[in-house]
Chain A
């Protein structure tokens, strides 16, 4: 039982990170109907920038951990958001009216560019930081097995919940959110009614990238390392999460993220760690056979 609870905690923390990345996928998909393959690498860039900002801030003499975390969050979110904006501007906007495969391939190309840019500019080796927020609570300690809830896990889950709250408010209540929902339903009509569609789509990418940066920081805190290749695997899993939850749906993305995180953790804990990704992907395929539009996705209504 204790072992189960421990895995549950680990799975939820991991799932939160996947969920944060998945939100970026699902938002972009919802608004322009395109798989943003570069999103996983935006997450990786976010992790790298957080790592560099952390090193610089520490060497500048900052010692208070909450203050460092705050500044790292600020710097990484702002810079990564700019990455998101630039990518949309260069690779996707010229292809807005094009057919579906063109922006997707452009995104795959962008993903290669980003991961190799990180490799060329920062080297191919894994960058490891010492634990930034060590320690945690011990929930129970029976029969030699201690259930640990680390501070990092609390930070990850709390940050995710807070961001999800802010973000849901943004989409549901603000002008920008209304514009986004309008573009999602009908871009031409939204433009006719005075919605600046270009700006709205840009903002979607900016928000998605900022959330990916947060996920990058959480990953850095949780695992203490970044490398240029981590964007691919995390990206695929987050995209799997978005599809599992029903692409285009925000709660779905979070739910899918949690599901993938839990599946992966429990599979590694009870079966084999090597096949954890196979398990996640197989469950995706099985779920999609019975629910072809994901758990919370709306079925596509086809007009003839």
Chain B
């Protein structure tokens, strides 16, 4: 008691804020100098006779150290000013309620916009292509969400199923001439089969052991695709994959083409618009199936598995089938997306199915707030859109993307949309659950 009041009476001398900030900035600059002295200060390259030569880059080194110094000052100033602000507490109540109702309107608005994109941007092929890309990742995100977000099984090799779907369609279409509409379900079934195949050995594994096995599985699939030259064409991939048809009508300028049959003037954009609606419908199918499954016993079992595996087992839930169905369902949608990817590109190679893709999709799911359907869609839009913005800075693109990933995670570890709709509710009390109450699972 005495000690407490004594220390309260004599407050410790407050160090000068400016001096503190300067000291910290100087320290950061020094660390930056040590880090970049060799990596940036010196540039190496193979000389004309094959020997490595080097030259110094003092200017670049000075610039980056200076930038770190100034940046550190800015960060410290910003921290000193803002501290921790609770934005919702500062906002006036009416504004807050408007924002909340806006949030409720976000899903229908986004959906309406997604349907109208080809109408609004009919002439802009670039935007349509971008839309197709975003929707592909939305679909992959929703598919992986079943495994990671609902069942809580950490899958680092999701791209393997994407690859299985893509190669299934490509091989079936190029060797047997089967149409896209027959191959699509086959690709999904094959991917689901591979999902079960992966699921079996990992049933007993938990946490990071599961993570590394799924990662290894993804790498095995990729390596086999590269090396099994007689089947997959090796690193050169498969070319000449047939384009999709409008239920049998090809998108060509011929008389039996789509345009001629419907009395339209031929335009290459028809095919793009068709692809856009195709992936939109596939993505919405994924979403719809996920939402429905969540209300079925199997979906409840997935979520129960994520929350507590031991409790799950003691209540008589068969964890084996629960895990396997989660893997299979997630993989199936990955396979659909893969088949779509193959028909859209017309060309596939193992390069498209590297670990980076898996990390990309996982980042979309986690950033979307694990299990939130809207969040996954939004974060796919943000990530792919942001990635496109840097198209001009080719070399720096992945660098910026990596930095953004780190900063976003530090800023919002629980994802952009930090809440989710409950599966069960009483009467009209449709409150949302904060993401921090949801477990991530051990699997």
Contacts and interface: CB of A to CB of B under 8 A. Distances in A.
Interface residue range, chain B: 35 or more
Contacts of A116: 395-396, 398-399, 402
Contacts of B367: 105
A8 interface: no
Contacts of A94: 410
A52 B224 contact: no
Contacts of A232: 355
A274 interface: yes
Interface string B142-154: 0000001000001
A298 interface: no
A282 B206 contact: no
Interface stretch (A12-20, A78-86, A167-175): A78-86
B245 to A, nearest CB: 37
A104 B35 CA distance: 23
A128 to B, nearest CB: 7
Interface stretch (A144-152, A180-188, A235-243): A235-243
B209 interface: yes
A53 B395 CA distance: 25
Contacts of B54: 52, 55-56, 59
A52 B204 contact: no
A164 interface: no
A128 B47 CA distance: 11
SS of B interface (majority) = helix
Interface stretch (A134-142, A194-202, A263-271, A288-296): A288-296
A110 B37 CA distance: 20
Contact of B410 (A52, A56, A106, A284): A106
B45 A123 contact: yes
Given A52-B38, A284-B212, A120 B395 contact: yes
Q: How large is the interface on A (under 10, 10 to 19, 20 to 34, 35 or more residues)?
A: 35 or more
Nearest to B370: A101
A58 B406 CA distance: 38
Contact of B395 (A29, A55, A119): A119
A108 B370 CA distance: 17
Contact of A109 (B207, B396, B405): B405
Contacts of A113: 399, 402-403, 406
A275 B366 CA distance: 33
Contact of B413 (A99, A281, A285): A99
Contact of A105 (B310, B366, B395): B366
A82 B31 contact: yes
Interface in B185-229: 201-202, 204-209, 211-213, 215-217, 219-220, 223-224, 226-227
Contacts of A278: 220, 223-224, 227
Contact of A121 (B39, B217, B440): B39
B359 interface: yes
Given A110-B402, A278-B224, A105 B39 contact: no
Interface in A184-241: 232, 236, 239-240
A111 B62 CA distance: 25
Contacts of A3: none
A129 interface: yes
Given A100-B440, A101-B154, A304-B310, A111 B39 contact: no
B402 A111 contact: yes
B52 interface: yes
Nearest to A284: B216
B363 interface: yes
A118 B211 CA distance: 27
A288 B310 CA distance: 21
Contact of B39 (A48, A100, A277, A286): A48
Given A51-B44, A105-B363, A130-B51, A79 B355 contact: no
Interface in A35-82: 35, 45, 48-49, 51-53, 55-56, 59, 75, 79, 82
Nearest to B359: A108
B40 interface: yes
Nearest to B40: A121
Contacts of A86: 31, 35
Contacts of B205: 288, 292
A232 to B, nearest CB: 7
Nearest to B411: A94
B227 A112 contact: no
B109 interface: no
A115 B209 CA distance: 25
Nearest to B355: A232
B154 to A, nearest CB: 7
Given A48-B39, A82-B35, A275-B227, A127 B410 contact: no
B39 A117 contact: yes
B38 A53 contact: yes
Nearest to B229: A274
A91 interface: yes
Nearest to A233: B219
A98 B213 contact: no
A247 interface: yes
B44 A127 contact: yes
A264 B169 CA distance: 33
B366 A293 contact: no
A53 B34 CA distance: 13
Given A121-B39, A121-B43, A127-B46, A99 B440 contact: yes
B216 A281 contact: yes
A56 B41 CA distance: 12
Given A99-B440, A112-B402, A275-B227, A247 B38 contact: no
Contacts of B211: 35, 104
A104 B32 CA distance: 24
Contacts of A243: 208-209, 212
B409 A122 contact: no
Interface in B349-363: 355-356, 359, 362-363
B42 interface: yes
Nearest to B198: A285
Nearest to B38: A52
A163 to B, nearest CB: 22
Those 8 A-B pairs whose CB atoms lie nearest each other, nearest first = A109-B405, A112-B402, A113-B402, A102-B413, A281-B216, A116-B399, A98-B413, A106-B409
14 contacts: A49-B38, A91-B410, A100-B440, A101-B370, A108-B363, A109-B406, A116-B398, A120-B395, A121-B43, A122-B44, A247-B208, A277-B219, A278-B220, A285-B201
Interface of B: 31, 34-35, 37-40, 42-46, 50-52, 54, 148, 154, 201-202, 204-209, 211-213, 215-217, 219-220, 223-224, 226-227, 310-311, 355-356, 359, 362-363, 366-367, 370, 395-396, 398-399, 401-406, 409-410, 413-414, 440
Given A56-B42, A105-B367, 5 more contacts: A101-B154, A109-B405, A110-B402, A274-B226, A278-B223
